Amino acid sequence: MTLAGTRVLLTGGGSGLGRHMAQRLAEDGAELAVIDRDAEACAALRAALGDSVQTFVADLSEAAQVDAVVQQVQASGFAPGVLVNNAGVIHSEPLVNLLARGADRVHSREQWRRVMAIDLDSVFYLTGRIVDGWLATRTKGVVVSVSSIAARGNAGQSAYAAAKAGVEALTRSWAKELGPMGLRFVALAPGFIDTASTRAALSPAALQRLQQAVPLRRLGTPEAVYLALRQAIENDYMTGTVLEIDGGLVL
């Protein structure tokens, strides 16, 4: 599949890595539609990319909103050949907080459900609707879902790690199930990427320690993740795999 001229539906494209993906997909000639729950971010993206992007506002953790936004995308005449499941949230919380007392000692059930809904349920809901459309039209589409190195297990991130491990399991399951129909499924697992949110969340000392733990001795760039995304889209013999973009951190 050649990216130029291909219709790509990208979730969470209003900010962070998703915003970089949207910019680069448009530059490389893809026809782009973005779903994001932030209406202001969608407006800013349209202002930046102009006619090369359509935007739709929805909270993909809600099944009813997924169904509604898919209908909106279809009504607009946009028929994607690629789905990029990028929308997500990072949450850090220990299973048991030894410094707290009472019910607050144990990981919040509300936060567990929130993270699973945003990071895993959304992938399940949206991919099912898009794939159903592809099967009806015999479209040989590609689904690329953003995971994380946390899928291997990360101390203090029970919900996030479990959700991303689920994304990778879905990727492999769907590749086996739907490969005979010509559909491909790939996951991307970034490590520590140099973004504004990363630098806001970590102190300079913590960032320095992270860089020393990476064999390449530096953080990744959003462009490194985008190049892996493009490879996943264009390599027609790639499916059921997880591309790790982590500078060798998980070796």
CA distance 36 to 59: 7
Find, among 118, 18, 15, the residue nearest to 63 by Cα: 118
Asked if residue 2 is part of any domain, the answer here is: no
- Per 3-state DSSP, the chain is made up of helix, strand and coil in percentages (nearest 5) of 50, 15, 30
Q: Is residue 49 part of a domain?
A: yes
Q: Are 17 and 225 in contact (CB under 8 A)?
A: yes
pLDDT exceeds 80 at position 203: no
The pTM (predicted TM-score) of the whole model is 0.95
- Nearest of 183, 157, 153 to residue 170 by alpha carbon: 183
How many Cα neighbours within 13 Å face the side chain of 204?
0
Residue 206 lies in a domain: yes
Residue 237 is among the residues annotated as catalytic for this protein: no
pLDDT, tens only, 115-149: 999 999 999 999 999 999 999 999 999 999 999 99
User: d(Cα 51, Cα 40) in Å, to the nearest integer?
Assistant: 17
Residue 60 belongs to some domain of the structure: yes
Structure confidence by residue, pLDDT tens digits, 21-35: 999 999 999 999 999
Q: How many domains does the chain have?
A: 1
CATH number assigned to the domain comprising residue 238: 3.40.50.720
Alpha-carbon span 58 to 152, nearest angstrom? 30
Local confidence band at 201 (pLDDT 50, 70, 90 cut-offs): low
Range of the domain at 31: 7-245
Distance, in Å, from the CA atom of 28 to the CA atom of 23, rounded to the nearest integer, reads 9
Predicted local distance difference test score (pLDDT) of residue 57: 98
